[in-house]
Structure 1
Amino acid sequence: MKISKTKIFIVFIIILVLQDCQSKNDQYHSPLKFTHNVYPLLDTENSRWFYFTSASRPFGMVNLSPDTEVHGTWGSGYRYKIDTVKGFSHIHAWQLSGPSVMPVTLQSTNNSIFKDYYSKFNHKTEIITPGYHQLFLDRYQIKAELTSTKRVGFHRYYFNKKSSSPAILFNLNGQLGPSKMAKGYIQLSDNPAKILGKVTNLPTRRRPKSCTVFFSAHFNAPIKDVVKDSITGNYLIIFKDIPNDELLLKLAVSYTSENNAEINLQHELPHWNFDKIVTEAQEEWNQLLGRIEVEGGTAEQQRRFYTDLWHSLQGRRIINDINGAYPDNTGDEFKIGQLPLDKNGVPLFNHYNSDSFWGAQWTLNTLWGLVYPEYMYEFSMSLLQYYKDGGIIPRGPSGGNYTYVMTGASSTPFIISAIQKNIIKENLDFIYQALKKNHMPGGIMGKAGYEHNTNIGGGLSYYLKNGYVPYPFPEPCNAFHLDGAGQTLEYAYQDWTLAQLATKLNISDEAGYFFNRSKNYVNLFDSISGWMRPKDLTGKWMEDFDPFKFKEGFVEANAAQATWFVPHDLDGLANLMGGKENAASKLNNQFQEAENWGFTSGTSHDLETHPEYRRIPINYGNQPSIQTAYIFNYLNKPWLTQYWSRKVASAVYEGISTNRGYKGDEDQGLMGSLAVLMKIGLFSMKGGCSTEPYYEIGSPIFDKITVHLNQKFYPGDKFVISSKNNGPNHYYIQSATLNGEKLNSWKIFHADIIKGGELILQMDSIPNKKWGVSVNTDSSSQ
């Protein structure tokens, strides 16, 4: 059969079009498409020491990045508006910093370089992506590039051929972020291109014991000279010749010994291929970010979503070596602990440094428990390791030691959520006893914020005797957050979570005991004012009570925000308010007022105490009221949950900017996690701690969300959320199906999601006030 030239031409055009479509499709499914969507500079004008990270791996011991401010916990690290690099430090962790280095060129070896070494840089020459950071040091005409493995920082510096002697300044003494660094020293080794050293983080108000960081550093060029400054105690490493004007530095850290730092380096980075490590770092990030794929929305919304997801995996850091050795500072004397190993000598889990899990019940519990169960497992096992070593499960450990950051027993719901989701299946009786200890006299509930040496500020004795913690606190106490009403609400919820585990283990008498304690919130509800109201030791209500006064009896909140902190018994709270209709009206009024403020106390955490901003009735810039949009589900008005959760997500957690991002305290992934959950339309009011954990459906902003399940933990392959007829104003669910079956409930059980399947939501701009109403909330069950 003859084929005309015209047909051949048409076929040729079709092939070209298909190839072009395939090319675009391949680009969309690029191996690094998720990391390319991350905007690391988000909110960096307001960042704190552990907030910003660039050249790091997920939860890496090393989180290498440039520092433009080096003094203090707040307002330090990488601050976008400061145009001066003051070093590249390897550890930006909760109450910890580590070796800081600065490449320089020398006109002479005079000691002025030890005090005058900062360099300007320009953001126009800067490239940042997860696992990589590049900038140009104007003063020295040095192009600096950073990347890392889990425990090794990798530097590549290009020196100008006309520059004087290349050198690297090691700053091991003086203030660095939250810590004063001391006792820093360097020693040469038999290898002319290697040094060993250590630096000690002196105690802080929050971390009461010293913590030493050991390191091993290898260069790709021999060392010409080492100069120690007698005043600062810092060191200058000078090189004579570097190959092709390119100086490479590999610096591995350890919290146990120089030898283990060297083992970390040899295991993780035995070669000198910088570009290979950059690619591997980006691939690791890409794999984790790709656990959730979103379609629809705007390009900016997608970019912000993956930036939020990236932040949900930030801040908390590994502290054990590759061989399982870790620092144990829980006792009177420092010890080197050893994690259990598998048959191949690999630790069964990693040990972590971490800020508090305060607020994790609405953030990390849900996101990690669904999407990253392996990390929820590791963190739970790490918290239990602290118990085995020191006798208490921490709420925020630093350097292998307790810090008693924040209040309550915030680790209890985190670990119980992992148990209820079958992420942890073994030794449950042991775990229950470990958790229970924190809820009894001598446990962590007895300690207020940073109360290292006493057990009174938590007010647990009053809570057990009177059913509430008094405010003002009646005894002298050197601690933070002595806010009795807020402490009471927190303890009541955490007692309820412990009752759920006791129920699971058939310890009925103790389940009843903790369930009764969980009702203590009732003791602080003032029916006259309609708010939770502090009481003093005699039971007298606070005089001149103003529900909008900040931090007067409530931890980092006012009464209007904190009154709704009863996630375990919203039916009971509504009854106190005169019924669900009254409660819903009250809360809706609060949201309407809060919308005028943008739902946050200003645009950053430091504005929270501003005389005007502190009076906001709902604050999505801090943890105490970030659950409130989902309360409407429990008040038989799910359309208001859909409306307000979408409004909050759009107002608070949208946009790509250096001067705002979370408008408050991001706290090592807590706000990033919350933003992700609100945007995919899944939440968990009870923190996943019910005997049968479930999620509440909100209002997804994307047309399609695919959650790829970890099949080492869950049986399903993927869970898809499809929103039909979605759009900027299409907040409302009209109907829903789950795996083809009609769903008229805003509840969806964890056990159903992890089997895989598809939730289809039909959306519109008009609320369907019949969908999802009168669902059994089971608020008061044990």
Structure 2
Amino acid sequence: MEVKPFKLNRIHILKNAWIGLIFLFLISCKEEIKKTVVKENYVDKVYPLLDTENSRWFFFTSASRPFGMVNLSPDTEINGAWGSGYRYNTDTIKGFSHIHAWQMSGLSVMPVTISEIDKSNIFTDFYSRFNHQTETITPGYHSVVLDRYQIKAELTSTKRVGFHQYSFPKNKEAGILFNLNTILGPNDNVAGELAQTGESELSGTLVATPTHRRPKPLNIYFKIELNVPITALIKDEQTGNYLINIKNTTSPVLMKAGISYTSLENATKNIQQELPHWNFNQVIQGSKDEWNSLLGRIKIEGGTEQDQRRFYTDLWHALQGRRIISDVNGSYPDNTGSVFRIGQLPLNTEGKPLFNHYNSDSFWGAQWTINTLWGLVYPEIMEEFSQSLMQYYKDGGMIPRGPSGGNYTYVMTGASSTPFIVSAIQKGLIKGNLESYYQALKKNHMPGGIMERVGYEHYTSLGGGLKYYLEKGFVPYPLPDGDFGGHQDGASLTLEYAYQDWTLAQLAKKLGKQEDAEYFSKRSKNYQNLFDSNSGWIHPKNVNGDWYLNFDPYQYQHGFIEANGAQATWFVPHDLIGLAKLMGGNDKAVEKLNAQFEAAEKLGFTSGDSHAAELHPEYSRIPINYGNQPSIQTAFVFQQLGRPDLTAYWSRKIVQKVFSGLSHASGYNGDEDQGLMGSLAVLMKIGLFQMNGGTEENPEYQIGSPLFDKITIELNNNYYKGKTFEINTKNNNAENVYVKDIQFNNISVNTHKIHHDDIVNGGVLELQMSK
């Protein structure tokens, strides 16, 4: 009898223990579920098809990492830089190519099935229709069914290696075409060769031919590895292209394609280091994790689901387009000299490159876009690009404004890299070798530098009109020396040089170079020489200093680059008060600009829905254009002239009209130059802007009208002291667009401005919104 209570107590204790363990297990599961829920997949919010009806060769991205050397995706159009690549309305896939970069293309492949009928013409007739209904696209992954062959093609990648997974139909002869000799986007691929180097391995090369913009050929080396044996390698003598037959299998066929611009050996090393395994899903997840990590640097709350999706689509575009050209070991193609050479990036103590080297479209317009976004949210990216630009100077004696294939392209005009690098220095991202940076930048602003050359002026240095700018204080239009390169529009060149001179003056001042600072500051006033007080516009002058006859401020590209005079007149970001004074004071300037916005609103604030539409007789006359870079700062001009209410009003309207939709038919109006318009949209939606590109000491941010209730920016602690910077808005909605009251860290702020040091030390900016 005495044993029974002991037995009951024991059972009771065990029962309680099990209940406790179950409770702890449930709590643990709940915590895991909670963690899973909290971890947001920002990639799922991205809409990759945005504006793909107006796509251009480097615009569309799917199976790619941020800034990856490989940008693997289907091509539905292959003839020309504009109107090529992935175009939504074209229903035929012509291959999957690995390089979609500024003035570069290469390595197109196509999985096929081969019947007896197809064998005789498969090299010339292999395109396949597809259907968007059976297509899946997300950052880092693309899946599509080739209707002709009933092959499911799945694509993903590391930085330098494309990874394919093909599910072939049963009982069909399977193959993969290597379309090495073809035209793709901006250039032809020629001299393509492929050799089998193992049971399941191939090695190859091809040449990307020169273009009008990239004047030298570029060798592309690639290594192919498959998870199945190659049963035959066939070369077609007519096309020079290749077909491999592979063993029939019911399992998916995997193929790795590592590329390099320096050697086959380095293409192999890129695979060995970045993709040593065959786990396709692991690479998809790795890509997703990398994108999530970068997209998640900005967390938003509030707004509609579409607002949030478009925001992360914009942010995604801000992190792509510009492409790595260096290998994992730091080798890179240097085409800046008379003879091609393989360069070597500096290595750290572990033997890894200190930075990557890049292919990039122009930094023309970057002062209002990636300067601010990268500098605040992705400082490591801004530092790395600055180091890459400096490497070009060490190799070729000039900092480029848009390099391709390891060489200068002289794309666009001016010294657009100067504000970018000066901004990086002023924000403390570049701390060492400042004298070297300064001398490199200064060279571009003097005779012998890049300012002398306009777009694609490879062999002369007269098109930029720099000698007239220095002698007369303006670049004449038309230029009397002849036709050299593109964009010889003297009024725009004058405005651009003046602003860039001012930014260089800020760096000279920082380094104690007072004489230089005064010299470039004086040059920055040259815009005044083209202000016509009678008309109230910036007005081109001829070489004799006479006003350009029959001047029409709404006529496109007559003295102005990709703009008209009404748009370009406001391109004085460094001295808007001075410009307003010429117009008769701030009130007069505000009245003038407000009237321009009212007129632009009737046309939707853009010159049509594509870059080509800017030449349309009606659209070209729009007084403000948010579809191209020259006037994208204008909403924030009001704030600089004492009217932050108008900045809030018009910036919200622009976001609503231009940067809100999720459609394959529109989005950036056809001119998303490698992250510039995506960055602009992000900045307008978080309500931060930098009129002069963040180039003054302790750069200033202008506060606009944030779209969301809460914005949390995760700060990179390798560069900045603070953990996060928050923007909280109260009573924010479509009507309450004005900022009534501002507090930073619970202290009232009397201006609509905040400085870089305050932001990066962390804190909370609270904005009371009102009607």
Q: TM (normalized to structure 2)?
A: 0.96
Equivalent position of 2:497 in the other structure = 491
Alpha-carbon displacement from aligned partner over 1:705-754 (angstroms, at most 9, x marks no partner): 00000101111100000000000111101101000100111110001000
Partner of 1:770: none
For residue 22 of structure 1, report the CA deviation from its aligned partner. Answer: 7.8
Q: Deviations over 1:332-372 (max 9, x none)?
A: 00000000000111100000000000000000000000000
Distance 1:667 1:518 in 2: 26
Partner of 1:101: 109
Q: String of CA shifts for 1:111-166, please: whole Å, max 9, x gaps.
A: 41111000011100111000000010010010010000000000000011132x10
Q: Name the CA distance, whole Å, in 2 between partners of 1:594 and 1:724.
A: 30
| Aligned residue in 2 for 1:158 | 167
Contact 2:336–2:406 at 8 Å: present in 1 too?
yes
Give 1:608 shift: 1.0
Match of 1:476 in 2: 482
1:66 corresponds to 2:74: yes
**Residue in 2 that maps onto 1:720:** 726
Partner of 1:88: 96
Confirm whether residue 555 of structure 1 aligns to residue 561 of structure 2.
yes
Read off the aligned partner of 1:217 and give its amino acid letter: I
Q: Is the aligned partner of 1:654 residue 2:667?
A: no
Alignment of 1:233-244 (within 5 A): 233-242=240-249, 244=250
Offset of 1:476 from its aligned partner? Answer: 1.6
| C-alpha distance in 2 between matches for 1:251 and 1:568 | 47
- Whole-Å Cα distance in 1 between the matches of residues 665 and 285 of structure 2? 29
Question: What is the CA distance between 1:188 and its match in structure 2?
Answer: 1.5
Classify the secondary structure of the residue corresponding to 2:497. helix
CA distance in 1, matches of 2:107, 2:184: 9
How far apart, in 2, do the equivalents of 1:611 and 1:18 lie? 67
Q: Is the 8 A contact 2:55 2:670 kept in 1?
A: no
Q: Distance in 2 between matches of 1:715 and 1:23?
A: 31
1:478 counterpart letter in structure 2: F
Contact 1:221-1:241 within 8 A present in 2 as well: no
1:435 is paired with a residue whose SS is helix
In the alignment, the residues of structure 2 paired with residue 553 and residue 643 of structure 1 have an alpha-carbon distance, to the nearest angstrom, of 31
Deviations 1:517-553 (A, max 9, x none): 0000000000000000000000110111100000000
CA distance 1:630–1:219, shift in 2 (3 Å): same
Q: Percent identity?
A: 63
Does 2:325 match 1:330?
no
Which residue type is aligned with residue 374 of structure 2?
A: W
- How many residue pairs match? The answer is 748
- Structure 2: which amino acid aligns with 1:178? P
Partner deviation per Cα, 1:644-680 (whole Å, 9 max, x = no partner)? 1111111100011000001241100000000000000
Match of 2:142 in 1: 133
Equivalent-residue separation in structure 1 for 2:664 and 2:394 (angstroms): 42
Partner of 2:232: 225
One-letter amino acid of the structure 2 residue matched with residue 45 of structure 1: E
2-side partners of 1:75 and 1:20: how far apart? 51
In structure 2, relative to structure 1, the CA distance for the partners of 1:583 and 1:105 (3 Å cut) is same
SS at match of 1:157: strand
- Structure 2 residue corresponding to 1:249, chosen from 248, 252, 255: 255
> 2:767 aligned with 1:749, yes or no?
no
Question: What is the match of residue 13 of structure 2?
Answer: none
Q: CA–CA distance in 2 between the matches of 1:19 and 1:118?
A: 53
* Alignment-mate amino acid for residue 194 of structure 1: E
Alignment equivalent of 1:581, drawn from 587, 591, 597? 587
Structure 1 residues 43 and 27: CA distance shift in structure 2, 3 A: farther
Secondary structure of 1:113's aligned partner: coil
Structure 2 match to 1:773: none
In structure 2, the residue matched to 1:780 is none
> 1:249 and 1:145 mapped to 2: Cα distance?
10
Partner-residue secondary structure (3-state), 1:327: strand
In structure 2, the CA distance between the partners of 1:493 and 1:28, relative to structure 1 (3 Å rule), is: farther
Alignment-derived partner of residue 399 in structure 2: 393
CA distance in 2, matches of 1:113, 1:477: 46
Is 1:540 aligned with 2:546?
yes
Q: Shift of the alpha carbon at 1:24?
A: 8.6
Partner-residue secondary structure (3-state), 1:198: strand
Kindly state the Cα deviation for residue 19 of structure 1 after the two structures are TM-superposed.
11
CA contact (8 A) 1:161 1:245 kept: no
Q: Give the AA of the match of 2:204.
A: G
Q: Aligned-pair distance for 1:21?
A: 9.9
2:227 maps to a residue whose letter is: N
Distance 2:754 2:744 in 1: 9
* Partner of residue 528, structure 1: 534
Partner of 1:509: helix, strand, or coil?
Answer: helix
* Deviation sequence 1:166-215 (CA, Å, 0-9, x none): 000001112111011111100121x2100000111111101000011100
1:708–1:719 contact (8 Å) kept in structure 2:
yes
Supply the distance in 2 between the matched residues of 1:224 and 1:341 (Cα, whole angstroms). Answer: 42
Aligned partner (choices 430, 447, 453) of residue 447 of structure 1: 453
Q: Tell whether the 8 Å contact from 1:111 to 1:229 is kept in structure 2 after alignment.
A: no
> Which residue does the alignment assign to 1:54?
62
Q: How far apart, in 1, do the equivalents of 2:268 and 2:730 lie?
A: 55
Aligned to 2:572, the other structure's residue is in SS state coil
Q: Whole-Å Cα distance in 1 between the matches of residues 649 and 589 of structure 2?
A: 17
Listed as ranges, the matches of 1:341-360 within 5 Å are 341-360=347-366
Map 1:152-191 onto structure 2 (within 5 A). Answer: 152-163=161-172, 165-189=173-197, 191=198
Q: 1:668 matched to which residue of 2?
A: 674
- The answer on whether the counterparts of 1:722 and 1:758 sit within 8 Å (CA) in structure 2 is yes
| Aligned partner of residue 174 in structure 2, secondary structure | strand
For 1:478 and 1:553, how far apart are their aligned partners in 2? 15
State the Cα distance separating 1:20 from its structure 2 match.
12
Q: Report the counterpart of residue 52 of structure 2 in structure 1.
A: 44
Alpha-carbon shift at residue 478 of structure 1 (Å) = 3.1
Aligned equivalents of 1:267, 1:143: Cα separation in 2: 28
**CA–CA distance in 2 between the matches of 1:48 and 1:288?**
24
1:213 aligns to 2:213 (yes or no):
no
After TM superposition, list the pairs within 5 Å mapping 1:699-778 onto structure 2.
699-765=705-771
Write the distance in 2 (CA, Å) between the matches of 1:718 and 1:196: 48
CA distance in 1, matches of 2:499, 2:219: 37
1:315 aligns with 2:321: yes
1:477: Cα distance to partner?
Answer: 2.6
Distance in 1, Cα, partners of 2:156 & 2:247:
25
Whole-angstrom CA distance in 1 between matches of 2:315 and 2:27: 33
1:98 Cα offset (Å): 1.3
Q: 1:768 maps to what in 2?
A: none
Would the aligned equivalents of 1:483 and 1:551 in 2 still touch at CA under 8 Å? yes
Return the letter of the residue paired with 1:541: W
C-alpha separation in 1, matches of 2:178 and 2:107: 7
SS of structure 2 residue aligned to 1:451: coil
* Superposed displacement of residue 603, structure 1: 1.3
Gaps of 5+ in 1: 1-14, 766-782
Three-state SS of the structure 2 residue aligned to 1:114 is: coil
Residues 270-307 of structure 1 show CA distances to partners (whole Å, capped at 9, x for unaligned) of 11000000000000000000000000000000000000
Between the aligned partners of 1:237 and 1:290, the Cα distance in structure 2 is: 42
Q: Which runs of 5+ in 2 are unaligned?
A: 1-23
1:117 to 2:123 alignment: no
> Secondary structure of the residue that 1:110 maps to in structure 2?
helix
Runs of 4+ in 1 over 6 A off after TM superposition: 17-24
Q: Which residue, out of 83, 97, 101, partners 1:75?
A: 83
Specify which of 672, 685, 693 is matched with residue 691 of structure 2: 685
